[in-house]
A and B are shown apart, each in its own frame.
Chain A
Amino acid sequence: MTKNVRYTLILFIICAVCAFVLAVANSIFNPIIVQHQLETTQAALKPLAGGYTVGGEVEVSGNDNVAGEYRLTDGGNVVGYILSLKGQGYGGAFTMLASYRNDGEILAAKMMTDSETPGLGKKSEEDWYMKKFVGTGTKGKPVPTTKTKLSKEDSDAISGASVTFGGVSKTLAAGAAYVQAKGGVQ
């Protein structure tokens, strides 16, 4: 057996054993991971729904900020959407859920995963942070995307975390534009 064939065989055996170990581990952990993700999403959707009925998730492709949507219905009529959003903060990518009326008005929003700085961008995980966006998103009252569009009190509250604020607000604005484009009709 030549040297190269022996080397190839050794590497192949190591890779095969590792692949087998990972396959076994995946069969154990994957159902738990999927179940956990489902529970987390359902728990987050309920307070965002505003009392409306939440439909199943529909994946959205070709949009930089919107990854998925859940239809909000009231007596069979589509009254809005909960969007699964993705954006860029100071610490990297983050994901959010936000609910909108058909005209783009934000009902509620929640940061789901992020790597922002504690004490600064991490404030975006708190309820009061997202409340400053509630009621905005319509054409008459757009989402505030710069600190100058906020009240002094709100502007002071996000001081030191402008990049996070910019990322969150632009992502929410992109969600509002997406909902407005749909016009409440599937």
Chain B
Amino acid sequence: MKDQECLSCHTMNSEQPQPMPQKKSRIREFTKGFITENPTFIIVLGLCPTLSVSTQVSNGLGMGLAATFVLFFSNIIISSLRKVIPDSIHIPAYIVIISTLVTLIQMFLQAYMPALNDALGVYLPLIVVNCIILGRAEAFAKYNCVADSALDGLGMGLGLTMNLVVISLIREVIGNGTITFFPTKNWNGVIHIPLFGTYPVRVLAASAGALLLMGYLMPLFKDLVDKVEAKK
């Protein structure tokens, strides 16, 4: 695939600047991760960590933000090096870059948020082989300029975070009657929901519940996307 021209770079070099298409394109690169190319519900990538860590809102939020950090910086680095890294060795090179970023975020969590690090367990180091990260590097950062790749990474990462928080929120509230955020010195971070606290639907907190919920959320989200696209 031929290297795509960065719209912003093109505009800067052009004698006739085209601010509107550039702005629209940039906004689209950022927002596509939330709806039209949502990584969980539309592209259906990275389901293993999505299903397994979405037991508490704090876990979903932490995992989402950790993946966003890795996506954002891996897209920037890979896009910067796209003309340096030959095709024959691009996979090992990408894996080294991504695993470095994942190790950095893991060290940070171990130092400052050890409870979250323990809760994410093996799924945190497994971000290295998360389909979303490598998928965006292969499908987007490899062919696009740094600014677009950064926006793509940020949008996809925040889209994933949104999905994880929504899934975690539903599972934790209905399945356990609580909403767990990060604890502070004076607060344990747990909000108790009266009705579901007394009569929780436990299956949603268990692994089977995650699959059940995904089964309902995916068509609902697809329906939403169809409606959005029909309006266009």
Contact = CB atoms under 8 A, between A and B. Distances in A.
**Are both chains from one complex?**
yes
Contacts of A113: 118
B11 interface: no
B86 A10 contact: yes
B18 interface: no
A117 B55 contact: yes
B112 A32 contact: yes
A117 B206 contact: yes
Contacts of A42: none
Interface string A158-170: 0010000000000
Interface of A is mostly: helix
B20 interface: no
B29 interface: no
Interface stretch (A22-30, A133-141, A178-186): A22-30
Residue among A14, A15, A32, A91 with the highest chain B CB neighbour number at 10 A: A14
Nearest to B86: A7
A115 interface: yes
Interface residues of B, number: 37
A21 interface: yes
Contact of A7 (B89, B110, B178): B89
A146 interface: no
Interface residues of A, number: 28
Contact of A11 (B92, B111, B202): B92
B56 to A, nearest CB: 6
A33 B206 contact: no
Interface string B86-128: 1011001100110110011001101110100011011000000
Contact of B119 (A36, A40, A115, A120): A115
A152 B81 CA distance: 64
Contacts of A21: 100, 104
A18 interface: yes
Given A11-B89, A11-B93, A113-B118, A33 B107 contact: yes
B97 A14 contact: yes
Given A10-B85, A11-B89, A15-B96, A32 B111 contact: yes
A25 B104 contact: yes
Nearest to B201: A119
B170 to A, nearest CB: 13
Contacts of B104: 21-22, 25
A75 interface: no
Interface string B166-191: 00000010011110100000000000
A56 interface: no
Given A10-B84, A92-B122, 8 more contacts: A30-B107, A33-B107, A92-B121, A117-B207, A118-B56, A118-B176, A119-B178, A120-B206
Interface of B: 55-56, 81, 84-86, 88-89, 92-93, 96-97, 99-100, 103-104, 107-108, 110-112, 114, 118-119, 121-122, 172, 175-178, 180, 200, 202, 205-207
Interface of A: 6-7, 10-11, 14-15, 18, 21-22, 25-26, 29-30, 32-33, 36-37, 40, 91-92, 113-115, 117-120, 160
